[in-house]
Amino acid sequence: MNADQLLDACDRILARLGTDAEAEVTVASGTDALTRFATGFIHQNMSDAVSRVHLRVALDGHVAEASGNQTDDDALDRLVRTATEAARLRPPDAAWPGLTPPAPAPTVEHWDEATASADPDGRAERIGAFVGSAGGLETAGFCSTEGITVAFANSAGQRLTGRSSMATLDGIARTPTSDGSATAVSVSLADLDGTSVGTDATRRALGAADPTDLEPGRYEVVLSPSCVADVLTFLCIYGFNGRAVDEGRSFVKLGAAQLDHAITLVDDVAHPMSVGVGFDAEGTPKRRLEIVREGVSASLVHDRRTAKALGTESTGHALEGAGAWGAMPSNLILEAGSASADDLVGSMQRGLLVTDLWYTRILDPRTQVVTGLTRNGVWLVENGEITGPVSNLRFTQSFIDALAPGAVRAVGSDLTLVTGGFGLGAWAVPSLHLASWNFTGGAKG
């Protein structure tokens, strides 16, 4: 369905509700396709014709949601009946923030038609190039394409449509003793070069081969963009999230210099590297938001509920059906510095260059102590030179401490688009050189 048809489906739902209900509707349609390869061949390959309908109604403050994947008249009747009957049975929601008033969304067009309609051959071609560039090493990974058109309408008169495409090629090359990874993300599949990504992964795998064990302890680190995205995920979910602050679970104190001066974090759907549409699940237009300005905590991200609770405006970061979690940035950008990734490594006295973090889990949201492991290549750097690969290590590290004032030695210039935290959108982040990272064990125990 095109945008007009989706908006028509929204209108058909709103018409069924009459004038007594406050209601908001999102209808989405498109294609989500993903091709996986492992041990050098494509083993799983899927395409889903996406169809999604989401309705939230409020009847005199009694709120309920319902969703489905059908848009015929009978299905829409059932959807409306389900939501309204549920709302009538619920107690009033004292925190109901009301609907988003009519307002235009920023004009963004992160869309490539060829990507949205890509066939499996286009993905297989890039995988073939990745595999072919690995020089006989074992390979694994995926290539995905998606194109989603979404329409939003509410009974307050807000009506918006948007569309977004995204393509990802992500893979590893493997030696008997090491893995090396590489990723490319773009609005357009045409931007993804399988040979280039495969060559990078292969170079890292070969460079990480035959690692030696390193004594755990505190080391300087250069974290690659994918690691940095991992760190920011926790800072956002448990920190710069209006809900976490409202509940007293967050470390964030607005106006305080809580992070290093080198850290400036914004959310900006209009950034040229961004993907996604210009409004959130509640129909709130997105706008550029400074979350951290030169180390000072500047803003929280909000949906309408957390904004009401804290007496402010929604920032346009509501997620569908995720009210209990609060809001999350969808287009996070950590502003780049001037040092190349090689410069960051060159400035380390004795530290570790880390490709990926893995299975990161929070131990305490307030202190942001997180444990996890390294993955896909770790190298010891001494006097600015890589001296050799080391085995994976477990860390137990406070992410606030890792980025605290004075803890960031340098920010890389290598602004890179990576998949956002917990699979939300895509974030543009550079490498970071940090003064200290607490490795608490070797992967072998």
Partner 1 sequence: MFDVAEAAVGAAIAAGARYADARVMDRRTESMGARNGEVEELMQDASVGIGVRALIGSGWGFASTADLTPEAARRAGEQAAAIARASASVPGKDLQLTPVEVRQDSWSNAVTEDPFTVPLGDKAKLLATVTQTMHQSGADIALAGYDAWDTRKWLVSSEGHRIDQHIVECGAHMDATAIGDGETQRRSYPGIRGQYGTRGWELVREIDLEGNAARIAEEARELLTAPECPSIDATDLIIGSEQMALQIHESVGHAVELDRILGWEAAFAGTSWLDLKQLGSLRFGSELMNITADATLPGSLGSFGYDDEGTPAHPVDIVKDGIWVGALSGRDSAALAGLESSGGAVRGDGYNRLPMVRMTNVGLLPGDSSLEDMIAATDDGILMDTNRSWSIDDKRLNFQFGCEIGWEIKGGKRGRMLRNPTYTGIGPRFWGSLDMLGNESEWTFWGTPNCGKGQPMQVGHTGHPAVPCRFRGVRVGVRG
Buried-exposed string 359-372: b where 16+ CB fall within 10 A, e elsewhere = ebebeebeebbbbb
Q: Which is nearer to partner 1, 79 or 300 (CB)?
A: 79
Q: At its nearest, how many Å lie between partner 1 and the CB of residue 69?
A: 4
- Residue 353, SS3? strand
Single out the residue of 94, 215, 311, 383 in contact with partner 1 (rule: CB under 8 A).
94
Candidate segments 107-115, 158-166, 396-404, 428-436, binder of partner 1 by CB under 8 A: 396-404
Residue 329 phi, psi dihedral angles, 5° rounding: -65, 145
Q: Smallest Cα–Cα separation from 445: which of 220, 219, 213, 217?
A: 213
The nearest distance, CB 423 to partner 1, in angstroms, is 7
Pairing of strands 159-175, 289-293: unpaired
Its sign, for the CA torsion 335, 339, 340, 343, is: negative
Stretch that binds partner 1, among 115-123, 150-158, 224-232, 294-302 (CB under 8 A): 115-123
CA-nearest of 321, 282, 159, 295 to 235 is 295
C-alpha 281: how far from chain center: 16
> Smallest distance, Å, CB 181 to partner 1?
8
Q: Which own/partner pairs from 40-49 qualify as long-range (CB within 8 Å, at least 24 positions apart)?
A: 40/131, 40/138, 40/139, 41/131, 42/124, 42/127, 45/120, 45/123, 45/124, 47/120
Q: What is the DSSP string of 355-388?
A: EEEEEEEEEETTTTEEEEEEEEEEEEEETTEEEE
Asked whether position 91 contacts partner 1 by CB under 8 A, the answer is: yes
Q: Please identify, using beta-carbon distances, which residue of 95 and 435 lies nearer to partner 1.
A: 95
Nearer Cβ to partner 1 (121/215):
121
Q: Which of the residues 133 through 152 are near partner 1 (CB under 8 A)?
A: 138, 140-142, 144
Least CB distance to partner 1 at residue 48 (A): 4
| Beta carbons of 194 and 173 less than 8 angstroms apart | no
Tell me how far apart the terminal alpha carbons of the chain are, to the nearest angstrom.
54
State yes or no: residue 44 binds partner 1 (CB under 8 A): yes
123 lies in the binding site for partner 1 (CB under 8 A): yes
Q: Which of 367, 405, 414, 436 binds partner 1 (CB under 8 A)?
A: 367
* Nearer residue to partner 1 within complex by CB, 325 or 384: 325
- Alpha-carbon separation of residue 76 from 95, 127, 159, 262 (angstroms): 27, 41, 19, 51
Does 79 interact with partner 1 (rule: CB under 8 A)?
yes
180 sits in which H/E element? strand 178-186
Nearer to partner 1, 7 or 131 (CB): 131
Which residue of 3, 16, 51, 435 would you call a contact of partner 1, by CB under 8 A? 51
Classify strands 350-364 and 369-382 as parallel, antiparallel or unpaired: antiparallel
CB of 307 to partner 1, least distance (A): 16
* CB-based contact 376:181 (threshold 8 Å): yes
Rule CB under 8 A: say whether 117 interacts with partner 1: no
Binding residues with partner 1: total (CB under 8 A): 94
Among 98-106, 243-251, 277-285, 293-301, which window interacts with partner 1 (CB under 8 A)? 243-251
The most distant pair of C-alpha atoms in the chain lies apart, rounded to whole Å, by 71
In whole angstroms, how large is the CA radius of gyration of the chain?
Answer: 23
Q: What residues from 173 to 232 belong to the interface with partner 1 (CB under 8 A)?
A: 174, 179, 181
Which of 151, 425, 165 is closest to 283 using CA atoms? 151
Sites for partner 1 among residues 152-181 (CB under 8 A): 170-172, 174, 179, 181
Could you say which residues in the range 321-360 bind partner 1, by CB under 8 A? 321, 323-324, 358-360
Q: 285-304: which residues touch partner 1 (CB under 8 A)?
A: none
Query: Is residue 37 at the binding interface for partner 1, with CB under 8 A as the rule?
Result: yes
Which range of residues in 206-214, 268-276, 342-350, 395-403 is near partner 1 by CB under 8 A?
A: 395-403
68 is a site residue for partner 1 (CB under 8 A): yes
Among 25, 83, 380, 403, binds partner 1 (CB under 8 A): 83
